Amino acid sequence: MGGRLYASVLGLLQRRPPLVRVVPLSGRYIPKAQDVVVGTVCDVQGTFWLLDIAAPRWAPLHMTGTPWKIDFGETGQYLHVGDSVVVGVEAIENTGRIGVTMLGEGLGKLEGGTIVTISAAKVPRVIGRGGSMITTMTRLTGAEIVVGQNGRIWVGGSPEAIRRVRECLKLIERQGQRSGLTEMVERYLKSSQPPPPPPVEPLSTLVERPAPGTEVFVANPEPDGALFPEGVDGDVPPPEDN
Amino acid sequence: MGSVGAKDVPVLIGEDGRRIDGRRADELRPMKITAGALHQADGSAFVEWGMNKVMAAVYGPREVHPRHLQENNKAIVQCRYNMAAFSVDERKRPGLDRRSQEISKVIAEALESVVFAEEYPRTSIDVYIEVLQANAGTRCAGVVAASVALADAGIPMVDLLPSVAVGKVAGHIVLDLKKEEDNFGEADMPMALVPQSGRLVLLQMEGRLSKAEFATALDMGVAGCKTIYGTMKQALRDRYNVTGSDPTEAGQ
C-alpha cells in the first residue's frame, strides 16, 4: 500500500534480504500436508468421524483411512466422541476440507495419558533443534511424548512423569521467545529431582495455595478417620485437604 | 432529556473552558489496554477507559454454529456485546435488549470490514464484548477491545480499529464524552476509523449537529482515533515483551 508493506498479523519481523517475513506470535493452527496432529473425535457419522484438531475447521477421518476393516454404520464401535487420536494430514483441498488419515507409522488411537494443549506457534520450541527438547524431556522424566503440530501434546507414563512434563510444557509456552530453552528445561528437571516432595514452586499462579487460616490442618494432619479434632466444637471449618 | 429541569443540569463546561472532569474540549479520558488478559480465549483484551471497563474475547476462526449461517467463500464475524447487570448505577436487566442487539450488529459489521475473512472460508470468528463498568462510550471501548483481541488472536487484519465518540455539550464540540456529558449534552456521535486508509467503518449519531459542527466533530474524532491507535499498538507490543518472574530464571 503506497509503496509500503504492512503485516496483516501480529508477529515478529524477520529481515533476510531480499525477503522480509513476519513470524506470527499467535493464531490458530493452520494445517499443512504431512503434519502429524493430535485430534479429538467430536462427531461420528456412517462412514467417517469428525475430528477437532484445533484448526479453523473440523477434519473428517474416513473409515478407509483407518487400520480397521469397518462396514457402513460400524464407525461408532471403533472411536467414540471424546476419544483422542494421532492422525496425519494428507491434503488440504481447495474447498478448505482437511483430509486426515490414521494409516502410517506412529498414527493411531491414544489410550491413557494426558493431553496438554499449548499454542501451535510454540510447537517448534517443544521439539527443539533436531528434537533435542523432546529427547531431554523423555530422558529426564521417563515419560512418553507425542507432539502434534497443532499444539496438542499427548503425554503418557507414570503420573509423576506426566506432571513434570506438563510443567515443562507450561514453562516452554510462557518462555517461548527466549534462547537457551533446552538448557533451561534440563536444569529445571534436574533441580527438581528426585520426585518427593513436590519440587519447586510449581510454576505458581495456576496453583491455588490454601488460605493462611487453614494451615493448622496442614501442619497437624488429623489421624485417619477423625474429621474433626477432639475437644473442639462444631465451629471449626471442615479441614480442607489441600 | 426533556423531563429534566434546567436546574438539575450540571455545569458541563466551566467559564475557563474546562469540562466537568477538568479536560479540555479535545482531550481523551485516560486509557489503559491489556492485551491477552484471558487464557482460554484465542485472543483477548481488557480496556479501562475513563470509568469504563470492558473485556473482549475472540474465539476462532472455528466451526460455525448454527450451520446455516456458514458462508462458503469467507468467514463470518459474530459479535455479542453485553452489559453486566452491575455495570451501571441502577441494576440493568441482564441479557439481550434492543440496544445491545444494535450495538452487537454495528460492531460485527465494523470488525468484518477490517479482517481478511476470505482466508478462512466456512468458519466463524466469534467476538464477545462484556461491559463490566459503564460510563458512556462503551461501544467505542468495545470496538477498541475487540480489535486488539483480534490482533492478539493472530487473525489477519487490514488494520487495528480505534474508536471514539464526539459530541456537542453546552454548545461546544467535545471529544470522548463522559456520562454526564452524554446524558445532558445535545449530541453524541460514536465513530470507528481505519487509520491507514482513513476509512470510517462505524458512524452513528444521536441528537443534532449543524453541517459546520459535524465537520469539526469529525476532525476531532479522527484525531482522537489516531491517539488511541498508538495506545493500542503499544498494548500489543507490551504483551510480548513481558516475561513473568520464574524460579528457573535465577542464574540465567
Tell me, yes or no, whether B9 lies in a domain. Answer: no
Count of residues making up chain A:
242
Tell me, yes or no, whether B159 lies in a domain. Answer: yes
Put simply, the chain A residues between 45 and 74 with a CB less than 8 A from any chain B CB are 56-58
Residue spans of the domains in chain A: they are 36-110, 114-191
Is A114-191 in the same CATH topology as A36-110? no
Tell me, yes or no, whether B189 lies in a domain. Answer: yes
Instruction: Calculate how close chain B gets to A236, using CA atoms only, in Å.
Output: 34
- CB atoms A8 and B116 under 8 Å: yes
Q: Which tens digits make up the pLDDT trace of A185-234? A: 888 888 765 444 444 444 444 444 444 433 333 333 334 443 443 433 43
Using a CB–CB cutoff of 8 Å, tell me whether A236 touches chain B: no
What are the cell numbers at A85? 487420536
Tell me, yes or no, whether B170 lies in a domain. Answer: yes
Residue A100, Ramachandran bin (φ over 0: left; ψ between -120 and 50: alpha; else beta): beta
Second-level CATH architecture of A36-110: Beta Barrel (2.40)
Measure the CA–CA gap between A155 and A146, rounded to whole angstroms.
Answer: 6
| Nearest-by-CA chain A residue for B59 | A28
Using a CB–CB cutoff of 8 Å, tell me whether B233 touches chain A: no
Q: What is the DSSP letter of B189?
A: E
What band does A37 get if pLDDT is binned at 50, 70 and 90? very high
Which residue in B38, B40, B62 has the most chain A C-beta atoms within 10 A of its own C-beta, making it the best mutation to test that interface? Answer: B62
Domain holding B64, by residue range, is: 16-239
Name chain B contacts of A95, Cβ cutoff 8 Å: 121
Residue with cell 444494535: B102
- The CA angle A115-B129-B204, to the nearest 5 degrees, is 150
Contacts (Cβ under 8 Å, ≥6 apart) of A109:
A79, A83, A84, A85, A86, A102
Q: What is the DSSP letter of A168?
A: H
If one compares B44 and A6, the residue with the highest pLDDT of the two is B44
ipTM over 0.90: no
Number of domains in chain B: 1
Alpha-carbon distances, residue B176 vs A188, B124, B131, B202 (angstroms): 50, 32, 17, 15
Range of weakest confidence among A10-19, B9-18, B236-245: B236-245
Q: For residue A241, how many other CB atoms are within 10 A of its CB?
A: 10
Measure the CA–CA gap between B165 and B140, rounded to whole angstroms.
Answer: 7
Structural fold of domain A114-191: Ribosomal Protein S8; Chain: A, domain 1 (3.30.1370)
Q: What's the CATH number where B82 sits?
A: 3.30.230.70
Q: Phi/psi at A23 (nearest 5 deg)?
A: -90, 115
